[in-house]
Amino acid sequence: MTPHISNGAEHEVVVTGIGLVAGQLTDPEALFDHLAEGRTLITEHPLHKEWGVPCAVSAHIDPEVRQQLADAVPEEAGPLGSAGVLAWHAAAQAWQRSGLPRRLDSERGGVFLACNRMVMEPAELTALADHVDHEAGALDLDGYLERLDGPAAPDAADGLDPQRYQKVQPDSATAALADYFGAAGVLETHADACAAGGMAIGSAYRYLRSGTLDVALAGGAESLTTLTSVTAFYGVGALAPADGRDPAQISRPFDKDRSGFVIGDGAAFLVLESRAHAEARGARILATVAGYAGVTEAVKMTSSSRDGADYAQCMRAALTDAGLVPEDIDHVNAHGTSTEANDTCEAAALHTVFGARAAHLPITGNKSAMGHSLANSGAAEAVLSVLSLQRQTLLPTLNFTEPDEVTSGLDVVTERRPARVTAVLSNSFGFGGQNCSLILAEAGGARP
C-alpha cells in the first residue's frame, strides 16, 4: 500500500479504472464499440410477454450471461443478490484495471454503491402473504424470515432463497465489496432514484478532494427488469409501450415521437484516486473528475419544472465546482430518458445554460441504445464519458429523427462522430427531484 502523500496534487481526483456489465457485454470497450456502430441492447424480454405487460422489451442482462456471472463470483465475495452479482463483476474489473493490489487494507479507501431497493417477485409475494393477518392489518415479518432461515425452510424448488432477505438489501453488496477489496474506510449506499449512480461518484469525489480518502470504488448496479418494477413504472406512465414496434426503435431521447423509457439492467464502476496517490504508484490515469453537483427539488414526484430551471441550477453548480464556464464543455452526455417530461426539462435547461452555443454543443443520449438502468445509469454514462475522452469520439443517439418545439435547436449526435473532447458534462435527473451533474475531463485536467 502506497503511503498517504500530502502535496498540492492531493485534492485532484482522477479515474484509474473502469468496469461495466450490460446486455451480453462484460467490458466497457466492447460496449463502446457496440454503441458506436449504432447497435442497441434493447430486445424483447423472455418473460415480459408471458407476464402480459404492454412494454415487453428491455435492456436486460442476457440470462446466460447472468448465470455465467453468478457462477464466477468467488465464495469469499459473500452472498450477493442479482444486482450484487453485477456490481461485483463491474467493480472487480475496474479494480483489476486500476492496477491496485487485490486488497487495499486501508482506512483511506471507500466504497460508494448506487442501487435502489430490490423488490419481491410473485413467488416471494405469495410466501409473504401467508404471514399477513388481514383482520389485524399486521405482517408477521419474523415468521416469514424464520420460514426462510429455519429448519422448515422451503426447498429451492419453491423459488425462495434462505439468504434472500440479506441479498436484496443494497447495503449488503456495499459491505461485501468493501470487505473483498479491503476498502472499508467509508461505505455509502445511494438510492437517489435515477440520479444515484452520479451521486455515488460525486460523493466519492468529495471525500477524495477533501483528502479524507486516497482511493474510492464508486458506481452502480441495478437488476429491476422484473414484473413488479415493470408494472409499477408502467403504471405511472413512465415506460414506453411496445405497440408491436421494433425494440431497437422504442427509446427515442429528444425526439418528438418519444413515449417513455425502456427499463434496463447493468452495473458500472470507476476507481477514483487522488492524483498524488495514483502518480506515486505509477498508475495510468484515464480521466479526471473535475466537478460535481447534487441538487434536490420537489416540484412533482415524476417531473421537474418544465422551464428547466432546476436542471439548469444543477449544471451551473457543477461548472462552478469545477471552476469552468459553459464554453469549456465540449460534449453533454444527457440524462435523455425518452420521456416527454424529462426530455423537455433537460432540453430547456441546456438552452438556458449554453444559450446559442447549444446548437453547436454535441449531445448524446446513451439510453436510446442501453435503456434506463435507473440507479446504475449515471455510473454507466460516466464510464462511457471517460471512453469518449480517451477515444476523442462521441457516441450516437439512436432514433432521433425530428425534434419537438423544446428539443429543437440542440445538436443531437446521431452517428459516431470524431471530436476534440476535453470536458464532458454528464447529467442524471431522478424521480422525486434528485438531480446530479458530473464533469469529467481529460487526464491532464480540464482547460483553465
Residues designated catalytic: 194, 335, 372
> For residue 25, what is its C-alpha cell?
457485454
- Nearest of 30, 203, 244, 17 to residue 111 by alpha carbon: 203
Q: Are 388 and 33 in contact (CB under 8 A)?
A: no
Sheet strands side by side (includes 362-364): 186-190, 109-114, 215-222, 266-274, 13-21, 287-296, 434-442, 423-430, 331-333, 362-364, 411-412
- Nearest of 120, 338, 121, 367 to residue 239 by alpha carbon: 338
Q: Are 253 and 367 in contact (CB under 8 A)?
A: yes
Supply φ then ψ for residue 104, to 5 degrees.
-75, -40
Give residues with Cβ within 8 angstroms of 230, minimum separation 6: 48, 51, 53, 55, 58, 239, 263
Q: Are 106 and 183 in contact (CB under 8 A)?
A: yes
Name the amino acid, one letter, at 268: A
> For residue 110, what is its C-alpha cell?
471507500
Supply φ then ψ for residue 91, to 5 degrees.
-70, -45
